[in-house]
Structures are given as C-alpha cells and as structure tokens.
Amino acid sequence: MTNLSKKKELAAKTLRVGKNRINFNSDNLSDIKEAITKQDIKELYDGGIITIKPIKGRKKIKKRKTKRGPGKIKKTVNKRKQVYVKITRKLRNYLKELKSFEAIDRELYIDLRKKIRMRNFRSKAHLKEFLESHNSVKIKPSELSKKSKPNKKKTEKKKSISDKKNSSEKQKKSKKEDIKSKPNKKKWKNKKN
C-alpha cells in the first residue's frame, strides 16, 4: 500500500474535517493518487470514493453510567481542610501558651500536639476538659486566664517607641532655645549703589 498522507491532508483541507475522519475506498486508490487539485478531491467525494467517518464521542441521549463519587467533589473537601486548619492553629497556640506558663512539661506537650494532629480534640473546650481530667497539669486551664501576663516583646517595643518620641521632642526644644539665646549675626555683602 502506498503512502497517501499528503492526499489525506489535502482532502481534510478541502472538505474541512480532521485527517482522522477521512476514509479512502481501497478499490479506487489509483484515482486518488492522480487527484492533485481541490476540485479533483471534491469530485471524488461526490463519487463516493472518499468518505467522511462520523464524529466519535459519547451520544448525548445516553445517560452517563458512572457517577461522581465523593472523592471527585472538591468543594466539601476544601471546607473540611479549612476547618481542620482553623482548629489545629487555635489548639497549637493554646498549647504554646500553656508551655510558656510552664503548666505542662515537654513530653505532654509533644503528646498533645500529636493528638491535635490526629483530630482527637473537637475544640478548645474539649482540650481544656481533657487537661483538667489529666493529673500531670500543674495549673488548671481555667486559672490560666486569671494569671495571664502581658507579652514582654510588645511592651518593650511600646516603651522604646515612646522613649524615641520623647527624646526627639526634647532635642527640638533644645534647638529652639539655642536659637533664641544666640544673637542673630548675618554677614551683609557690600552692595554697589
């Protein structure tokens, strides 16, 4: 069998379909070889030597048999993940706070972090309930809010900013006083009349 790929390309252009849809009649291959122009191919198509295959694909009439399962739907999964992230962040911050107050030791801290990751706690209240029932906690979580101490870093920053403002105001005042106390001496150049 001879190579008729160029003839297929020409037929696809003239009949305005894809190359894969064009079908040549194997009995009349000699006529197809002789076809050079678009007009020749149109005549062969009218004669039935070149045919066009129907479009492949699923018919719209038939109902789809496979249904989308819960694994394919992304909307609910995304919400679940967001809920997980919010809860874990909240609980981890609370644990960090407990650790800074030295209410829990390092081993319990690591164990609780693992439990948070495994979604053992529904909420912060659930975690507090667990800690209160646990014996190795030094301070009860309910007493923590009463004992809360201010964040050192924030207070230091506020103090340093206020100190800078005060020092800059003092410098401005001292400059103004210096200017007032000194006599105004300007050197005048001799002007020609």
> Has residue 47 been placed in a domain?
yes
CATH of the domain at 20: 1.10.1650.10
Q: Is the pLDDT of residue 88 over 90?
A: yes
Q: Is the pLDDT of residue 30 over 80?
A: yes
What does the pLDDT read at residue 183?
55
Find out whether 141 and 98 touch, Cβ atoms under 8 Å.
Answer: yes
Same domain, yes or no, for 95 and 31?
no
What does the pLDDT read at residue 1?
47
Count how many domains the chain has: 2
Distances (CA, A) of 44 to 11, 49, 55, 110: 10, 5, 21, 80
Q: Is the pLDDT of residue 170 over 90?
A: no
Beta strands in 9-164 (DSSP E): 22-24, 50-52
The domain in which residue 39 lies consists of: 5-52
> Has residue 109 been placed in a domain?
yes
